[in-house]
């Protein structure tokens, strides 16, 4: 069983415990477990479209033998839709697992329209598990879904992906600083194109960064994506999209021994999140926490406040975190860039002294991440399920 299956089983148990109609449910998931994929899910959307479903709301209706012609009977739970709504445990009422990736009602309109037809026919709102703060949630409510929030990626990272990095010296011990800041980027097109714009706001010579010659998905160059780009391609990482791994040391061919990785020997960690149009935090925010590094966050306005609400501490005693309140993206990016450039103007010895003063925060975040944070996230989910 992989970690996502394990989490889904636990979520299913929570719903079964707190639902009024006691019976087994089937949590509705995508083929790739993360998000809607038209190539995989159009013909059979992760369990929502049964084999007999041909694409319209009417096709969800079937006659049970012995019923009068024209009676609308749900083929899943047997409810007569002319008299009552489907049962909570009906396959058309069971929760949608959308916890890991941002909700996109326009991009995935085919998916949401199909489910909306189900709601209109079955007469029962469908819970949608998610992990964001955005206007997309209001759209779901308008379509009669029930958003159920929890910090899903927190559980995935603390209990699973980064669990094996706990309490080993190569992670817990502080390394001498060799780099003033680190800014990792893999995907740089479409919604991630902001990453190129941000790099152009930095004095990149003062730190280390990654900017690939081509976006791995679209194959477009940085200059094709952002014509004003002046930053040269550069790479320090493997770019293999293995978010469950942290590179802690590397083989130095010239010295013929292992050196501390760039990740561990950098001062300021620039977290460039998946999206910046909303609050939605992924495994990226937990990398500096596991590595005991200070960080700045590129996410929607309110991302730092969201993180603090779960018990983590940030760095307002050392630089202004007013950027977290700025709605305009360009202004927010520039405010973060100013912090990074200020760090770049310091010497490594100055940054070492600053890190020493930050250690109470760094230690708190590390210890809380591994001891209590995931339980808080699960408790949040259970509370929100109870309130449905």
User: Do both 51 and 86 map to the same domain?
Assistant: yes
Render each residue's pLDDT in the chain as its tens digit; 388 residues: 899 999 999 999 998 888 766 666 778 888 888 988 887 775 444 344 433 333 333 333 333 333 333 456 776 777 776 667 777 777 667 899 999 999 999 999 888 887 887 777 777 788 999 999 999 999 999 999 999 999 999 999 999 999 999 999 989 999 999 999 999 999 999 999 999 999 999 999 999 999 999 999 999 999 999 999 999 999 887 777 666 778 776 655 555 555 567 888 999 999 999 999 999 999 999 999 999 999 999 999 999 999 999 999 999 999 999 999 999 999 999 999 999 999 999 999 999 999 999 999 999 999 999 999 999 999 999 999 999 8
Q: Among 149, 181, 201, where does a domain finish?
A: 149
| 118 shares a domain with 65 | yes
Please check whether residue 386 lies inside any domain of the structure. no
Show which of 97, 118, 149 is a domain's final residue: 149
Pairing of strands 257-260, 266-272: unpaired
Is residue 223 located within the same domain as residue 274? yes
Residue 384 maps to a domain: no
Co-location of 115 and 199 in the same domain:
no
> Which tokens sit at 283?
């495994």
Q: Kindly report the CATH number assigned to the domain that includes residue 192.
A: 3.40.50
Alpha helix positions (H), the chain: 3-18, 38-41, 109-122, 136-142, 152-156, 169-172, 194-199, 222-225, 286-290, 303-308, 329-344, 348-370, 373-386
pLDDT of residue 52: 30
Answer yes or no: is 383 within a domain.
no
26 lies in which domain range? 3-149
If one counts the domains in the chain, the total is 2
Q: What pLDDT is stored for residue 125 in this prediction?
A: 86
**Which pTM value belongs to this model?**
0.88
Q: Helices H, strands E: what count in the chain?
A: 13, 11
Query: Tokens for 163?
Result: 């669990």
Does one domain contain both 193 and 315?
Answer: yes
134 and 166 inside one domain: no
83/231 same-domain check: no
* Residues 286 and 339 grouped into a single domain: yes
Residue where a domain terminates, one of 149, 179, 197:
149
Q: Are residues 48 and 188 in the same domain?
A: no
User: Pseudo-torsion of CA 321, 327, 333, 335, nearest 10°?
Assistant: -40
Cα torsion angle, 108, 109, 114, 116, sign: positive
Round to the nearest angstrom and report the end-to-end CA distance of the chain. 29
Cβ proximity of 100 and 156 under 8 Å? yes
| Contacts by residues 69-76 (CB-CB < 8 Å, ≥ 24 positions apart) | 72/121, 74/122, 75/50
Query: Within this chain, do residues 182 and 275 fall inside the same structural domain, yes or no?
Result: yes
Residues 131 and 188 in one domain: no
């Amino acid at each position: 069983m992989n970690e996502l299956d394990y989490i889904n089983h636990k979520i299913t148990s929570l719903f079964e415990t707190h639902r009024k109609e006691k019976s087994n449910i089937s949590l509705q998931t995508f083929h790739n477990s993360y998000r809607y994929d038209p190539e995989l899910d159009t013909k059979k959307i992760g369990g929502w479209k049964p084999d007999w479903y041909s694409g319209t709301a009417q096709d969800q209706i079937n006659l049970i033998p012995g019923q009068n012609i024209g009676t609308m009977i749900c083929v899943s739970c047997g409810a007569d839709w002319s008299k009552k709504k489907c049962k909570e445990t009906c396959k058309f009422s069971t929760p949608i697992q959308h916890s890991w990736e941002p909700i996109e009602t326009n991009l995935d309109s085919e998916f949401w329209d199909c489910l909306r037809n189900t709601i209109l026919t079955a007469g029962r709102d469908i819970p949608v598990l998610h992990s964001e703060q955005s206007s997309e949630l209001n759209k779901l409510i308008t379509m009669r879904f029930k958003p159920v929030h929890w910090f899903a990626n927190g559980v995935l990272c603390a209990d699973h992906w980064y669990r094996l990095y706990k309490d080993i010296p190569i992670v817990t011990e502080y390394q001498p600083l060799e780099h003033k800041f680190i800014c990792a980027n893999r995907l740089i097109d479409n919604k991630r194109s902001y990453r190129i714009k941000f790099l152009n706001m930095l004095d990149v010579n003062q730190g280390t960064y990654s900017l690939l010659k081509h976006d791995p998905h679209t194959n477009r160059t940085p200059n094709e994506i952002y014509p004003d780009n002046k930053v040269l391609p550069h790479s320090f990482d493997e770019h293999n999209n293995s978010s469950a791994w942290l590179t802690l040391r590397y083989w130095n061919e010239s010295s013929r021994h292992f050196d501390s990785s760039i990740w561990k020997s950098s001062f300021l960690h620039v977290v460039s999140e998946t999206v910046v149009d909303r609050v939605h935090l992924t495994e990226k925010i937990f990398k500096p926490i596991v590595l005991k590094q200070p960080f700045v966050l590129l996410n929607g306005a309110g991302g730092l406040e969201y993180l603090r609400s779960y018990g983590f501490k940030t760095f307002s005693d050392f630089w202004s975190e007013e950027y977290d309140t700025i709605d305009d993206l360009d202004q927010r990016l520039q405010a973060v860039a100013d912090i990074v450039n200020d760090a770049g103007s310091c010497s490594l010895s100055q940054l070492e002294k600053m890190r020493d003063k930050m250690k109470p925060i760094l230690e708190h975040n590390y210890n809380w991440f591994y001891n209590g944070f995931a339980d808080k996230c699960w408790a949040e989910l259970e509370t929100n399920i109870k309130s449905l």
